[in-house]
Amino acid sequence: MLFHTAQYAVFLAVVLGLSGLLIRHRKAREAMLLFASWIFYAAWNVKYLGLILFSTVLDYVIGAEIYRSDSPRERKLLLIVSLVGNLGILGVFKYYGFFVENIDTLFQLFGLHPSLPALKVILPVGISFYTFQSMSYTIDIYRGDLEPRKSLMEFALFVAFFPQLVAGPIVRAREFLPQLDRKPGATSHQTGTGIYLILKGLIKKVLIGDVLAVYVVDPVFANPAGYGALAIAAAIYGFKFQIYNDFSGYSDIAIGTGRLLGYDFPINFRSPYKAPSIIDYWRRWHITMGSWFRDYVFFPLGGSKGGLGRICINTLITMGLVGLWHGAAWTFVLWGSYHGVLLTLSIVKRHMATRLRGDAPAGPEEWSPAGHLLRVAIVFHLTLIGGLIFRSTSLAAIGQMWTSIRIHGVGPGVSAEFLLLILFAFVLHFTPERWKAQIENTFSDLPAVVQGVIAALVIGLIATAMSTAQPYYYFQF
């Protein structure tokens, strides 16, 4: 059930209506939201609903046992069971085929031809998201940062809550569960901003991301040999804005839907292409995933403790795993490692600058406007290279692009209207944040009737572009 379909609109309307009817009955309302969330996921494939139920029961029981136990050894063993159970499911469904294929290739290099068992399974939608959410619960209890939830239903709602179930943001238990204790229902501000975020997300997803995918990005990446430099450049830049508008648009819809139901999710994107450093970029891009890997991978490895070499190794390992989290392919591992190298170089540069200056290196407040703009441009194009790696199906496909440029030269380009769309996406992204905040606040303060009229106009506009609508890009991860 995709957010930008009529099916989801009807589903959401029914859920909001039932939520309003049950607003005075908190437990009944939570039960309805849980049941609705299971229906939402089952609409994709009912067979895989059992995976969510398994993770839910596993971590609910283990979380309670960890909290009750006074034995450090027993607590650690219970945590390991949780991690093995969750990561085991993720490994089987997402990575088994990848590892078998590579092990088979490795054996063939030595003239061996083993018959490794194949496993033909469909990747469950959202498994990378809800698995990480569920694991955060037991890890936080183990660390003493969270008390277990007494109600299985409330914990199950946290794991399966439909707005962010399949696409994020990755919500932690300590961020969501306390909200179940407050008075249910959305405030007027939550309702206004929720509607605004849903409309903004639909515009970004359908009118920008999907159109760029259909008319600019996908044709070139599918057949790079048929295009010249202009079209290939348009596709590379176009993908940069396609992936952002697709992913951040879906996150906006998820956050907006949560607000309509009275729940606040953490922000997932904060204009990442404005970042003046690669470190800042990762503070702005897919924020909830980045913070998850920071807290549950980077810090346990030692984080920033120890010498410079140890910090760099921790960074490279973490980013390699970030790449692997995105998909079972070497291009994703390479993409994560590429960003790991960029981050490592930034850390080394900052360390050397501190040693030479004797204090912290110059920050944004000390940069000239031209210097700041230059840094933003450099970081943007460094991540543009990463985007090319991310989107390509193989390194050979990247090579085909360069070969095509040599053969065709400038070659046939892309229609002017789609170049204008890339330019529009660029301008929209780099609009000052205070302007964006002012527009959101102005919309949320409008009378409900006016909000409804604007929503109808936007939905009508989006309906005209539904022929180009695409599935959410991150469903494959």
The span from the CA of 200 to the CA of 31, in Å, is: 30
The helix (run of H) or strand (run of E) holding residue 43 is helix 26-45
Q: Is 185 left (phi over 0), alpha (psi -120 to 50) or beta?
A: left
Candidates 4, 326, 339, 429; catalytic one:
326
pLDDT score, position 364: 65
pLDDT by residue for the chain (477 residues), tens digit each? 788 888 899 999 999 999 999 999 999 999 999 999 999 999 888 888 999 999 999 999 999 999 999 999 999 999 999 999 999 988 888 877 777 777 777 777 777 766 666 666 677 778 888 899 999 999 999 999 999 999 999 999 999 999 998 887 999 999 999 999 988 888 989 999 999 999 999 999 999 999 999 888 998 898 888 888 888 889 999 999 999 999 999 999 999 999 999 999 999 999 999 999 999 999 999 999 999 999 999 999 998 887 899 999 999 999 999 999 888 788 899 999 999 999 999 999 888 877 776 666 666 666 788 888 999 999 999 999 999 999 988 878 888 888 887 776 776 667 788 888 999 999 999 999 999 999 999 999 999 899 999 999 988 888 877 766 666 666 655
429 included as an active-site residue = no
CB distance 232 to 401 below 8 Å: yes
pLDDT of residue 464: 79
The set of residues, in sequence order, having a beta carbon less than 8 Å from that of 214 and lying 6+ positions away, is: 468, 470
Query: CA torsion sign, 321 to 327 to 328 to 331?
Result: negative
- The model's pTM is 0.90
Residue type, 98: F
**Structure tokens that stand for 347 in this block:** 């850390």
- Dihedral of CA atoms 365, 369, 375, 378 in degrees, nearest 10, equals 170
| Residue 358 confidence (pLDDT) | 62
Rounded Cα distance between 107 and 114, Å, is 7
C-alpha gyration radius of the chain: 24
pLDDT at 292: 95
Q: Which amino acid is at 407?
A: I
Residue 433: both structure tokens together: 């944040």
Q: What is the pLDDT of residue 340?
A: 96
- Comparing CA positions, the residue from 11, 63, 17, 57 lying closest to residue 37 is 11
**Residues 458 and 203: beta-carbon distance below 8 Å:** yes
Residue 265 CB neighbours (<10 A): 23
Q: What is the pLDDT of residue 85?
A: 94
Q: Could you give the C-alpha distances from 185 to 13, 102, 163, 278, in angstroms and in order?
A: 15, 50, 15, 39
Q: How far is CA 218 from CA 214, 238, 412, in A?
A: 6, 10, 16
